[in-house]
Amino acid sequence: MTAQPAHDHLVTDRSLLSTKAYGTGQHLSARQSLYQWQTPRHDLPGIVVAELKDTHGAVADVGCGNGKFVARVRQERPDLTVLPMDVSHGILAAIPGAVVADVQQLPIADGTLGAVLALHMLYHVEDQARAVKELARVLSPGGIAIVSTNSGTDKRELEDLWRRAAGDVLGTQHGPARVQLSARFTLEDAPTILGTVFDDIRTIPLPGVIEVTDAEPVIAHLASYEAWAGQMGVPFKQTIERARERVNETIQAEGAFRITCLGGILVCQ
């Protein structure tokens, strides 16, 4: 799957990110909670904590969102100083010690961190080359950057569902593709982009299948793209309602609606 230049600037639009998309944690939580129906379940915060086993000192979580990873690292590694950072002020409200900061210009001195996390966030960054340089700049010798994103093939059934539902609304076979966030920084592209700065990159693939017998978690996931509704080229709410009908039809016919997932974590040094 390729990046969609038409949507590119909207995925990185900072005013949109910090208001409609991530002004609160509501949309992010809807996307995160779909994974409770995935087999196998991957404990992402647990994997990050395990990768931090040799890390000491301070760890920044850049683009920390609703603080899911911050809370877990603080709980399991109270010896580390965790620095939560994000461009969206509103989403940081409940995270102690969080500061507004952009990964393209981190307010951190050179060579001071044991690790830096950039989890499911680099696809929102306009200048990824600069962001990756920043991640490396703030690390002390031997420090690690932990990055995550999704494959270009991730949740392709959702893309298909959206295009068919949009087609039903527009009276065509397939409607336009929806905005795909991770298309700007896929698991396949990530090693090349990170490899401009880091010598050693280890990918941990996290495949799975989501299976639901109730349409609501899938519909909540689609609805979480509301920030980009005006750019989808189809009435958003109507498409969501049609998607709900299609998911229910599949559940009735096949007993479940299935979504194939492929995410991954990259550990960089």
Ligand X SMILES: C[S@@+](CC[C@H](N)C(=O)[O-])C[C@H]1O[C@@H](n2cnc3c(N)ncnc32)[C@H](O)[C@@H]1O
Query: Residues interacting with ligand X, by CB under 6 A?
Result: 17, 22, 28, 62-65, 68, 86-88, 91, 102-104, 119-121, 124-125
Nearer to ligand X, 62 or 247 (CB): 62
| Strand pairing class (113-119; 99-100) | unpaired
- Beta-carbon contacts of 245 under 8 Å, excluding residues fewer than 6 positions away, are none
Beta strands in 21-131 (DSSP E): 38-39, 58-62, 81-86, 99-100, 113-119
Q: Which residue is nearest to ligand X (CB)?
A: 65
Shortest distance, position 44 Cβ to ligand X, whole Å: 7
For residue 43, give the amino acid letter.
D
How far is Cα 62 from Cα 120, in angstroms, rounded to an integer?
10
Nearer to ligand X, 55 or 66 (CB): 66
Nearer to ligand X, 104 or 260 (CB): 104
Shortest distance, position 172 Cβ to ligand X, whole Å: 31
Shortest distance, position 264 Cβ to ligand X, whole Å: 13
For 82, list phi and psi in degrees, rounded to 5: -100, 130
Nearer to ligand X, 119 or 169 (CB): 119
Nearer to ligand X, 48 or 215 (CB): 48
3-state helix, strand, coil in the chain (%, to 5): 45, 20, 35
Shortest distance, position 236 Cβ to ligand X, whole Å: 19
Shortest distance, position 85 Cβ to ligand X, whole Å: 6
